[in-house]
Chains A and B, each alone.
Chain A
Amino acid sequence: MDTANSHEHGAGHDDDHGESHGHGDHPKFLAHHFDTPLQQFDTAKLGMWLFLAQELLFFAGLFVAYGIYRNWYPDAFSWSSHQLDPIMGAINTVVLLFSSLTAALAVRSSQLGQKSKTSMWLVLTIICAFIFLVVKYFEYEHKFESGLLPGGHFHPHHLHVVRAMHGAAAAGIPDHSGTFFGIYFMMTGVHGLHVLIGIGVMIWILIRNNRGEFSAQYFTPVELVALYWHLVDLIWIYLFPLLYLID
Chain B
Amino acid sequence: MSTEAEATLPTSDHTGHGTGTSYLDASSGLRNWLITLDHKRIGIMYLISVLLAFAAGGIFALLVRIELLSPGRTIMGAATYNQVFTLHGAIMVFLFIIPSVPAALGNFFLPIMLGAKDVAFPRLNLLSFYIYVVGAVMALASMVIGSVDTGWTFYTPYSSNSVVGSQNAVIWMTGAVFTLGFSSILTGVNFIATVHKMRAPGQTWRRLPLFIWAAYATSVIQVLATPVLAITLALLLMERAFGLGIFDPRIGGDPVLFQHFFWFYSHPAVYIMILPGMGVVSEIIATFSKREIFGYMFVAMSSVGLALVGFLVWGHHMFVSGQSEYATMVFSALTFLVAIPSGVKIFNWLGTLYGGAISLESPMLYGLAFIVLFSIGGLTGLFHATLSTGIFLHDTYFVVAHFHYVMVGGTVFAFFGGLHYWWPKMTGKMYEEGLAKWGFALFFIGFNMTFLTQFVLGSRGMPRRYYDYLPQFTGLHQFSSTGAFIIGIGILLIFVNLTRSLISGKKAPRNPWRSAGYEWMTPTPPPLENFKEVPVITRGPYDYHLATEAELSEN
Tell me the nearest residue of chain A to B235, going by C-beta: A186
Interface status of B196 (Cβ within 8 A of chain A): yes
In the complex, are the beta carbons of B192 and A50 less than 8 A apart?
A: yes
Distance, CA A149 to CA B3, complexed state (A) = 66
Distance, CA A46 to CA B196, complexed state (A) = 9
In the complex, are the beta carbons of B251 and A179 less than 8 A apart?
A: yes
Of A12, A33, A58, A69, the contact of B116 (CB 8 Å cutoff): A33
Distance, CA A1 to CA B36, complexed state (A) = 11
Chain A contacts of B121 at CB under 8 A? 43-44, 47
In the complex, are the beta carbons of B189 and A186 less than 8 A apart?
A: no
Q: Render B199-235 as a binary contact track against A, CB cut-off 8 A, 1 for contact.
A: 0000000000000000000000001111110111011
Q: Render B1-20 as a binary contact track against A, CB cut-off 8 A, 1 for contact.
A: 11110000000000001110
Chain B contacts of A73 at CB under 8 A? 252
Interface residues on A, range: 35 or more
Interface status of B554 (Cβ within 8 A of chain A): no
Chain B contacts of A64 at CB under 8 A? 261
Q: Render A47-67 as a binary contact track against B, CB cut-off 8 A, 1 for contact.
A: 100110111011111101100
| B-contacting 9-mer, from A14-22, A89-97, A201-209 | A14-22
In the complex, are the beta carbons of B197 and A153 less than 8 A apart?
A: no
In the complex, are the beta carbons of A61 and B252 less than 8 A apart?
A: no
Distance, CA A175 to CA B248, complexed state (A) = 15
> Which of B124, B232, B529, B533 has the most C-beta atoms of chain A within 10 angstroms of its own C-beta?
B529
Interface status of A7 (Cβ within 8 A of chain B): yes
| A-contacting 9-mer, from B128-136, B237-245, B278-286, B369-377 | B237-245
Interface status of A145 (Cβ within 8 A of chain B): no
Chain B contacts of A175 at CB under 8 A? 252
Chain B contacts of A15 at CB under 8 A? 2, 4, 533-534
Of A31, A42, A47, A179, the contact of B253 (CB 8 Å cutoff): A179
Tell me the nearest residue of chain B to A176, going by C-beta: B252
Distance, CA A226 to CA B506, complexed state (A) = 54
In the complex, are the beta carbons of B227 and A68 less than 8 A apart?
A: no
In the complex, are the beta carbons of B116 and A68 less than 8 A apart?
A: no
Chain A contacts of B123 at CB under 8 A? 1
Interface status of B395 (Cβ within 8 A of chain A): no
Of B224, B245, B254, the contact of A68 (CB 8 Å cutoff): B254
Q: Render A155-184 as a binary contact track against B, CB cut-off 8 A, 1 for contact.
A: 000000000000000000001101100110
Q: Give the number of residues in B that approach A within 8 Å (Cβ atoms).
A: 57
Interface status of B548 (Cβ within 8 A of chain A): no
Interface residues of B in 246-285 (CB under 8 A from A): 246, 248, 250-254, 257, 261
Chain B contacts of A47 at CB under 8 A? 120-121, 124, 189-190, 193
In the complex, are the beta carbons of A61 and B4 less than 8 A apart?
A: no
In the complex, are the beta carbons of B223 and A54 less than 8 A apart?
A: yes
In the complex, are the beta carbons of A12 and B246 less than 8 A apart?
A: no
In the complex, are the beta carbons of B242 and A151 less than 8 A apart?
A: yes
Distance, CA A213 to CA B89, complexed state (A) = 48
Distance, CA A176 to CA B2, complexed state (A) = 65
Quick one: given A11-B18, A179-B253, are A19 and B245 in contact (CB under 8 Å)?
no
Interface residues of B in 168-190 (CB under 8 A from A): 185, 188-190
Interface status of A39 (Cβ within 8 A of chain B): yes
Distance, CA A107 to CA B118, complexed state (A) = 28
In the complex, are the beta carbons of A54 and B528 less than 8 A apart?
A: no
In the complex, are the beta carbons of B251 and A178 less than 8 A apart?
A: yes
Interface status of B122 (Cβ within 8 A of chain A): yes
Chain A contacts of B254 at CB under 8 A? 68
Interface status of A8 (Cβ within 8 A of chain B): yes
In the complex, are the beta carbons of A46 and B242 less than 8 A apart?
A: no
Q: Render A178-194 as a binary contact track against B, CB cut-off 8 A, 1 for contact.
A: 11001101100010000
Interface status of B301 (Cβ within 8 A of chain A): no
Quick one: given A4-B27, A11-B18, are A54 and B189 in contact (CB under 8 Å)?
yes
Quick one: given A53-B224, A151-B253, are A33 and B245 in contact (CB under 8 Å)?
no
Interface status of A75 (Cβ within 8 A of chain B): no
Tell me the nearest residue of chain B to A21, going by C-beta: B1
Enumerate chain A interface residues (CB-CB to B < 8 A): 1-2, 4-5, 7-8, 11-12, 15-16, 18-19, 31-33, 35, 39, 42-44, 46-47, 50-51, 53-55, 57-62, 64-65, 68-69, 73, 149-154, 175-176, 178-179, 182-183, 185-186, 190
Q: List 14 A-B contacts (CB under 8 A).
A: A1-B122, A8-B529, A18-B2, A19-B1, A39-B197, A51-B189, A54-B227, A57-B227, A149-B242, A151-B252, A151-B253, A152-B248, A182-B245, A183-B246
For the A-B complex with A33-B118, A58-B231 known, give 10 more contacts whose Cβ atoms are closer than 8 Å: A8-B19, A11-B19, A12-B19, A47-B124, A54-B223, A54-B226, A60-B227, A150-B242, A150-B245, A183-B246
